[in-house]
C-alpha cells in the first residue's frame, strides 16, 4: 500500500545530496517541502535557489521542482521526488511587501511569518510577550493570500497563530509541530490553536523531531500514532499530515545558524536547556526517509483505515496545496 500512495513530507531541512535524494525515493516519498532559508535575506535566498537549480540539473533522474500541486501528481507518475521550496522566516522579503510576489514567482511556496523571535510580521514562540500579528504582517498575509503563498505558523506564538488563522482569507498551515498536550515544548501547539486551525480548514503536519515528542528520542511509534489519533478526533481526519522536520547530515554550525542567525553572540538553547545544545539522537523507527513505510505500518496497526492512512500520509497535504497555491 505504501508504494501506491502519494506520500508528502511537510518539512525537511537536510544537507541535500544525491544519497538523501535516493533515500527519499526509497522511502516512497512523492514530495518534500524543503526549507531553503531561515534568516537569509533576498540575495542569499537567490543563491539558495541557484544551488537548488544545480541539484535539479545534476539529479534530474531523482528529483524535480514543484511549481504547482499538479507537479506532485506528475512526480508520482514519473517516479521522482518533487521538491517544494519554503522559508522558515520572513527574512526573504525583508521589509518590502513587493517581495512576496517576487518570491512566489521564484517558486517559494510556503513562508513562516516568524522563526522563534519577534519578526516584522508576527511574534515567535520564544518571546515572553506575544503582541500578535503586526500591521506589516496583516498586509503580508493579504498579499500571500493573493499570490498563492501558504502562511506557515510553526514557530509562532499562541496569539500570533490565532491572529493569522483569523486574518488569513485562506487556510493556513502549521507544517511541523505537535500538540502541547502530547509533549510540553514551546514549539508545540495548544488544543485551542489546533481546534481553530481545523475549523478554518487549515492543516497540521506532525513533527518527528525528538525534542517535540514525549520521551524525546525514546518516543515509541505506538505513542506517536496515539497522538495522531487523538489529534484526528480534535481537528478532523482531513486536517492532519506529516511534517517530519528531518535535518539529515547537518553539522552543528547549521543548528547554530537556525537558532542564532545573526541576532545573538551566545548560543540559544531553544527550550532553555544545554541538553539541547546538539542535534538529538534519532528515533529508532525513523532514522531517515527510508523509514517512511514504518509510519504507514504504525497508523494501520493503530486502527486507521487504508483511506485514512492515505490522507494522513499525503492526500490531505495534496488537497490543501491544490487550493492554497493558486493565485487569486
Looking at residue 254, what is its pLDDT?
A: 85
- Which residues of the chain have a pLDDT value below 70? 269-277
**What is the CATH number for 181?**
3.20.20.140
Taking only the tens place, the pLDDT of each residue in 136-189 is 999 999 999 999 999 999 999 999 999 999 999 999 999 999 999 999 999 999
The Cα–Cα gap between 42 and 32 comes to 23
Looking at residue 61, what is its pLDDT?
A: 98
Looking at residue 275, what is its pLDDT?
A: 55
Domain that holds residue 262: 2-324
**In this structure, how many other beta carbons lie within 10 angstroms of the beta carbon of residue 327?**
11
Looking at residue 252, what is its pLDDT?
A: 84
Looking at residue 253, what is its pLDDT?
A: 84
Looking at residue 273, what is its pLDDT?
A: 54
Instruction: Please choose, from the candidates 162, 226, 223, the residue with its C-alpha nearest in 3D space to the C-alpha of residue 197.
Output: 162
Residue 83 · residue 31 · CB < 8 Å: yes
Total structural domains within the chain = 1
Residue 226 · residue 301 · CB < 8 Å: no
**In this structure, how many other beta carbons lie within 10 angstroms of the beta carbon of residue 142?**
14
pTM exceeding the 0.85 threshold for the entire prediction = yes
- Dihedral sign, Cα of residue 257, residue 121, residue 100, residue 192: positive
Looking at residue 33, what is its pLDDT?
A: 98
Taking only the tens place, the pLDDT of each residue in 252-288 is 888 888 888 888 888 776 655 555 667 889 999 999 9
Looking at residue 249, what is its pLDDT?
A: 86
Looking at residue 257, what is its pLDDT?
A: 83
Looking at residue 300, what is its pLDDT?
A: 98
Amino acid at each position: 500500500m505504501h508504494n501506491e500512495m502519494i506520500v508528502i513530507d511537510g518539512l525537511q531541512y537536510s544537507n541535500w545530496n544525491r544519497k538523501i535524494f535516493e533515500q527519499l525515493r526509497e522511502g516512497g516519498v512523492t514530495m518534500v517541502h524543503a526549507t531553503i532559508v531561515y534568516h537569509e535575506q533576498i540575495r542569499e535566498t537567490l543563491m539558495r535557489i541557484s544551488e537548488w537549480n544545480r541539484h535539479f540539473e545534476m539529479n534530474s533522474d531523482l528529483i524535480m521542482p514543484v511549481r504547482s500541486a499538479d507537479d506532485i501528481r506528475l512526480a508520482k507518475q514519473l517516479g521522482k521526488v518533487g521538491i517544494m521550496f519554503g522559508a522558515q522566516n520572513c527574512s526573504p522579503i525583508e521589509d518590502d511587501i513587493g517581495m512576496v510576489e517576487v518570491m512566489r514567482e521564484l517558486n517559494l511556496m510556503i513562508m513562516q511569518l516568524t522563526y522563534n523571535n519577534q519578526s516584522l510580521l508576527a511574534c515567535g514562540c520564544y518571546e515572553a510577550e506575544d503582541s500578535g500579528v503586526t500591521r506589516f504582517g496583516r498586509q503580508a498575509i493579504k498579499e500571500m493570500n493573493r499570490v498563492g503563498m501558504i502562511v506557515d505558523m510553526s514557530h509562532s506564538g499562541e496569539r500570533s497563530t490565532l491572529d493569522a488563522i483569523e486574518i488569513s482569507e485562506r487556510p493556513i498551515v502549521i507544517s511541523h509541530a505537535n500538540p502541547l498536550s502530547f509533549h510540553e515544548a514551546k514549539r508545540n501547539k495548544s488544543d485551542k490553536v489546533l481546534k481553530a486551525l481545523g475549523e478554518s480548514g487549515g492543516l497540521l503536519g506532525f513533527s518527528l523531531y525528538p525534542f517535540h515528542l514525549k520521551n524525546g528520542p525514546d518516543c515509541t511509534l505506538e505513542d506517536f500514532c496515539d497522538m495522531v489519533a487523538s489529534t484526528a478526533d480534535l481537528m478532523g481526519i482531513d486536517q492532519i499530515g506529516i511534517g517530519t522536520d528531518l535535518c539529515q547530515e547537518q553539522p552543528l554550525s547549521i543548528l547554530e545558524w537556525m537558532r542564532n542567525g545573526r541576532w545573538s553572540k551566545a548560543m540559544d538553547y531553544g527550550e532553555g536547556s544545554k541538553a539541547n545544545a546538539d542535534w538529538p539522537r534519532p528515533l529508532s523507527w525513523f532514522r531517515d526517509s527510508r523509514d517512511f513505510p514504518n509510519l504507514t505500518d504504525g497508523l494501520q496497526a493503530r486502527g486507521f483505515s487504508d483511506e485514512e492512512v492515505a490522507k494522513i500520509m499525503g492526500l490531505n497535504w495534496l488537497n490543501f496545496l491544490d487550493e492554497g497555491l493558486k493565485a487569486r
